[in-house]
Amino acid sequence: MDVTSRQFSDKAHQALRDTVLQKALGHIEEGFVEARKNAAANLPEFEELRDRGRDIRAHVIEHLGAYLRQFEDQVYAQGGRVHWARDAAEARQIVAEICAEQGARTIAKSKSMVTEEIELVPHLEAQGLKAVETDLGEYIIQLREEKPSHIIAPVIHLSKEQVSETFHEHHQIHGFEDKLTERAELVAQARSVLRETFMDADVGITGANFLVAETGSVVLVTNEGNADLVTSLPDTHIVVTGIEKVVPTLNACHTLLRLLVRSATGQETTTYTSFLTGPKRPKDANGPSNFHVVLVDNGRSAMINTQNREMLHCIRCGACLNHCPIYANIGGHAYGSVYPGPMGAVLTPQLAGLADSVDLPNASTFCGKCEAVCPVRIPLPKMMRHWRESEFEQHLTPTGMRFGLGVWSWLGRHPALYRLVQRCARLGMRVLARNGWIKALPLAGKGWTAWRDMRAPDGESFQSQWAKRGKKEPA
């Protein structure tokens, strides 16, 4: 997976100065955070369901091979085909070969983060195919030649005016010459343009939110209905998804769906939840004649026996992005990965290598909100901490920070000296303080005090107070 995460710091600074982006990010609180809070509060068993969701995902990963075999058997029993791809290149080749077999020229795509991860659309376009994203957000960024900035809301970084500009530039060839100002008009125009794509497409490509082992079903959730047009109009349906998406049963899937949608958009359910199982049956009134599932590994199997195993539990709701104070201030593009925010800070180093993404696990205040809202209780801060440890072990930490951490670590192993240095620092900080606040800290660089003052130490340290109390529990 190609990433530009080495530019994280520069892009984060640019994002903070981008007033249009800052205004757009302001919609997250009301649009996602409040909605999730209300949705969770309205289901009495929500917290219990989170435990069940975590247990289902842990159970699946414990038996992942067995459940994938069961899923594969069921897909074949229903007349579909399953393909296995070790990496992105194999996955792209499989999809391109199926398209070639079908003599496809136009492909309608619905939103899928795995296809973003393997960069499928540019590959198909390079083969001379017309591959059109049909999710409204994905369609907009395809026109703008950008990457999604959020895993469920790809154009959360854009304003209505920017979308209007984009449509005005690209839709004139479809006969739409006026520049639009209303959201409803923009949506209606995209509907009109994309309806032609749905009707022309030879192949439909989707991801999968879940794969059901007991039935061989592919489960898709959307609000727009584009995935349902993609899977019911073209004669061939190709599903491209990660190997970790399998769940044992339909009932297990419903438990996860209740969690997924509430955590993602704050809805109780999406408008469309579709269970798709194989190709058209002989007597069916309609449906695709060909049904293919491409199971993509691309680094996932390598996570099984690592400290990041629980990242395979992720159901891609985006709640950790929505609640992250870092993401809320810089948006997704600064991360330089298709997986931004806390889940991306854990996943990107795994998929793209830590050396190319070392800033991402450090882009966290460790406030813990990501874990607090994760529908399957993935301990994201703990996993980011693991990456920071790996960073230090692999000598990827900048020299100055490495020296500072080394000094602190050495002091930590010499308690008497530690206390002495602490006393000196406390005295020094009191000297620097004016009215209890310090405006500039020597040795700490400009970063800390550039935007806020530091409180001067007040009274004695915790350790000396503890010692005075004789290590007794307070009354």
Question: Which residues have a Cβ under 8 Å from the Cβ of 281 and sit 6 or more positions away?
Answer: 79, 287
Q: Cβ 12 to other proteins, closest distance in Å?
A: 22
398 touches other proteins by CB under 8 A:
no
Burial of 471 (0-12, 13-18, 19+ CB in 10 A): exposed
Closer residue to other proteins, CB minimum distance, 28 or 314:
28
Q: Cβ 203 to other proteins, closest distance in Å?
A: 16
365 CB neighbour count, 10 Å cutoff: 10
- Are the CB atoms for 235 and 279 separated by under 8 Å? no
429 touches other proteins by CB under 8 A:
no
Q: And the tokens for 386?
A: 């693991």
Q: Cβ 465 to other proteins, closest distance in Å?
A: 48
Candidate ranges 114-122, 221-229, 377-385, 442-450; the one touching other proteins (CB under 8 A):
221-229
Residue 305, CB-side half-sphere exposure with 13 Å CA sphere: 1
Q: And the tokens for 216?
A: 């061989």
Residues numbered 13 to 42 that lie near other proteins (CB under 8 A) are 24, 27-28, 30-32
**From candidates 20, 66, 100, 355, binder to other proteins by CB under 8 A:** 66
Size of the residue set binding other proteins (CB under 8 A): 103
Q: Cβ 31 to other proteins, closest distance in Å?
A: 3
For helices 64-77 and 46-62, give the axis angle rounded to 10 degrees: 90
DSSP label at residue 434 = B
Sign (positive/negative) of CA torsion 391, 397, 403, 407? negative
Candidate ranges 59-67, 125-133, 372-380, 465-473; the one touching other proteins (CB under 8 A):
59-67
Closer residue to other proteins, CB minimum distance, 77 or 355:
77
Residues numbered 334 to 373 that lie near other proteins (CB under 8 A) are none
- Are the CB atoms for 85 and 294 separated by under 8 Å? yes
Q: And the tokens for 251?
A: 């009932």
Map residues 190-219 to x or -, x wherever contact with other proteins holds by CB under 8 A: xxx-xx--xx---------------xxx--
Residues numbered 264 to 303 that lie near other proteins (CB under 8 A) are 265, 268-281, 283-287, 295, 297, 301-302
Closer residue to other proteins, CB minimum distance, 82 or 358:
82
Closer residue to other proteins, CB minimum distance, 11 or 258:
258
**From candidates 231, 263, 337, 350, binder to other proteins by CB under 8 A:** 231
Q: Cβ 410 to other proteins, closest distance in Å?
A: 41
- Are the CB atoms for 350 and 311 separated by under 8 Å? yes
Q: Cβ 353 to other proteins, closest distance in Å?
A: 19
Q: Cβ 216 to other proteins, closest distance in Å?
A: 8
- Are the CB atoms for 102 and 145 separated by under 8 Å? no
377 touches other proteins by CB under 8 A:
no
Q: H or E stretch including 438?
A: strand 437-438
Candidate ranges 125-133, 225-233, 422-430, 444-452; the one touching other proteins (CB under 8 A):
225-233
116 touches other proteins by CB under 8 A:
no
Q: Cβ 394 to other proteins, closest distance in Å?
A: 23
DSSP label at residue 139 = H
Closer residue to other proteins, CB minimum distance, 13 or 281:
281
Which of 332, 416, 398, 287 is CA-nearest to residue 154?
332
Candidate ranges 61-69, 120-128, 171-179, 344-352; the one touching other proteins (CB under 8 A):
61-69
Residues numbered 67 to 106 that lie near other proteins (CB under 8 A) are 68-69, 78, 83-86, 90, 93-94
382 CB neighbour count, 10 Å cutoff: 14
Residue 410 backbone dihedrals phi, psi, to 5 degrees: -65, -45
Closer residue to other proteins, CB minimum distance, 290 or 364:
290
**From candidates 121, 252, 370, 438, binder to other proteins by CB under 8 A:** 252
**From candidates 232, 329, 422, 461, binder to other proteins by CB under 8 A:** 232
Secondary structure (H, E, C), 19-80: HHHHHHHCHHHHHHHHHHHHHHHCCCCHHHHHHHHHHHHHHHHHCHHHHHHHHHHHHHHCCC
- Round to whole Å and give the CA distance between 201 and 363: 42
